[in-house]
Amino acid sequence: MKITKVEAWPVTMRLTAPYEIAYETVEETVNVFLRLETDSPLVGYGCAAPDAMVTGETPETVLETIRGNADAVLHGADPLRRAVLLEELCEAARKEHPSALAAVDMALHDLLGKIAGLPLWQLLGGYRESIVTSVTVGILNERETVEAAREHIARGFRCLKLKGGRDAEADAARVLRVREAVGKDVELRFDANQGYTPEGAARFVDLVRAASIELLEQPTPREALEELGWVTQRVSIPVMADESLMNLRDAFRLARQNLVDMINVKLMKVGGIAEALQVNGVARAAGIEVMVGCMDEAALAIAAGLAFALGRPNVCYADLDGHLDLIGDPSAGAVLLRDGVLYPSERPGLGWEPCR
């Protein structure tokens, strides 16, 4: 089998409601879809969700990478030689174009599943059949935060991730109000998106002790690893790295220096499923738990993250809600959501084919 055509195109999707995090307000997202045709009836699909603040990419740079380097490597190649193809792309793409690499990796894995006639989550290990996902509440005032939390609980979600990072005292007040509103049986997670000083993070944890939050995500700036480690050693809840974990080398550095309790692995940051499996291996060896996270991603990309999560026992948590508020997602339905639990498609590969 040979790849005969590499095609990529951007899709702009507005959000049903804009949301705020510590450093920006998001109203829409652009994903780049990838199609790999072969000399058989099988076609592989992937999706990139570039983010200038996180991955350092734009839709334009992703398209340029796919139509340039990726096309040169993939055209005429055997898609089953995935390791060779990704290695040829990795040297240039891993650091500078991780979401473009993720889209290629995703499409190759999709083809693998279709060739085997099996869902990708089974090929990756099939450790579990579904996983609970958190749903995100952006930075709002106290009343709006409580209203949003109640709406999510009414839709069946059992785990909420609250955003903050601008003011530890105000953030703590919102968390405590949400705990009071939703009761003790709902899991609460908090993401500071790099917004705190170490002292601010410690103060926040002290203030929210009564809320029993499950974890604190990326409290300090991404490059300030000593500060991140300081928080991890001093607070009473697990601390997770997100923006500080961009690649395999970061995973090794965080693990070797005992800087965090958990890491958030996003396919768009690390460059796809193959690299995520490597990162997960480092984490498991170090006794670090893993969450699979996402950007503002179409359901196709969420399906790839879900397959990774379902395949590996060390991936204990999921934050795969990036597709829920997108208007005009062409891959809607690639994953199934019931009462806050994500289920994969039972079709081969990632389980999605576009309507024609």
Q: Which of 217, 275, 296, 319 is catalytic?
A: 217
Q: Is the pLDDT of residue 47 over 70?
A: yes
Is 266 among the residues known to form the active site? yes
Amino acid symbol at 48: A
- Of 62, 86, 117, at which residue does a domain stop? 117
Asked if residue 142 and residue 207 are part of one domain, the reply reads yes
Question: Would 283 be classed as within a structural domain?
Answer: yes
Token representation of residue 104: 């290629």
Task: Provide the number of structural domains found in the chain.
Answer: 2
Q: Which of 163, 227, 250, 269 is catalytic?
A: 163
Q: Which of 266, 296, 297, 319 is catalytic?
A: 266
Is 114 among the residues known to form the active site? no
Domain span at 92: 3-117
288, HSE (Cβ side, Cα atoms, 13 Å): 30
Please, what is the average pLDDT of the chain? 95
Mean pLDDT for 69-74 is 94
Q: Is the pLDDT of residue 149 over 80?
A: yes
> What is the DSSP secondary-structure string of 7-20?
EEEEEEEEEEEEEE
Asked if residue 227 and residue 111 are part of one domain, the reply reads no
For residue 96, name the pLDDT band (cuts at 50, 70, 90).
confident
For tokens 């055509």, name the residue: 5
Is 163 among the residues known to form the active site? yes
Is 191 among the residues known to form the active site? yes
CATH number at residue 65: 3.30.390.10
Asked if residue 180 and residue 78 are part of one domain, the reply reads no
| pLDDT of res. 277 | 98
Q: 207: closest CA among 164, 243, 242, 151?
A: 164
Q: Is the pLDDT of residue 268 over 90?
A: yes
Dump pLDDT digits (tens) for 203-220: 999 999 999 999 999 999
Asked if residue 338 and residue 279 are part of one domain, the reply reads yes
Dump pLDDT digits (tens) for 285-326: 999 999 999 999 999 999 999 999 999 999 999 999 999 999
Q: Which of 105, 171, 187, 191 is catalytic?
A: 191
Asked if residue 165 and residue 27 are part of one domain, the reply reads no
- Of 117, 140, 171, at which residue does a domain stop? 117
Asked if residue 277 and residue 230 are part of one domain, the reply reads yes
Question: Would 235 be classed as within a structural domain?
Answer: yes
Question: Would 351 be classed as within a structural domain?
Answer: no
Asked if residue 71 and residue 42 are part of one domain, the reply reads yes
Residue 327: CB atoms within 10 Å: 11
Mean pLDDT for 12-21 is 85
Mean pLDDT for 114-139 is 97
For residue 341, name the pLDDT band (cuts at 50, 70, 90).
very high
Asked if residue 105 and residue 42 are part of one domain, the reply reads yes
Q: Is the pLDDT of residue 9 over 90?
A: yes
Asked if residue 286 and residue 137 are part of one domain, the reply reads yes
Question: Would 296 be classed as within a structural domain?
Answer: yes
Question: Would 127 be classed as within a structural domain?
Answer: yes
Kindly state the DSSP code that residue 80 receives in the 8-state scheme.
Answer: T
Q: Which of 51, 57, 110, 242 is catalytic?
A: 242
- Of 117, 147, 166, at which residue does a domain stop? 117
Mean pLDDT for 77-99 is 88
Question: Would 49 be classed as within a structural domain?
Answer: yes
Asked if residue 90 and residue 62 are part of one domain, the reply reads yes
Amino acid symbol at 34: L
Asked if residue 128 and residue 113 are part of one domain, the reply reads no
| pLDDT of res. 90 | 80
Q: Is the pLDDT of residue 19 over 80?
A: no
Question: Would 270 be classed as within a structural domain?
Answer: yes
Question: Would 354 be classed as within a structural domain?
Answer: no
Torsion sign across C-alpha atoms 87, 88, 93, 95: positive
Asked if residue 179 and residue 53 are part of one domain, the reply reads no
- pTM, 2 dp: 0.95
CATH number at residue 303: 3.20.20.120
| pLDDT of res. 13 | 96
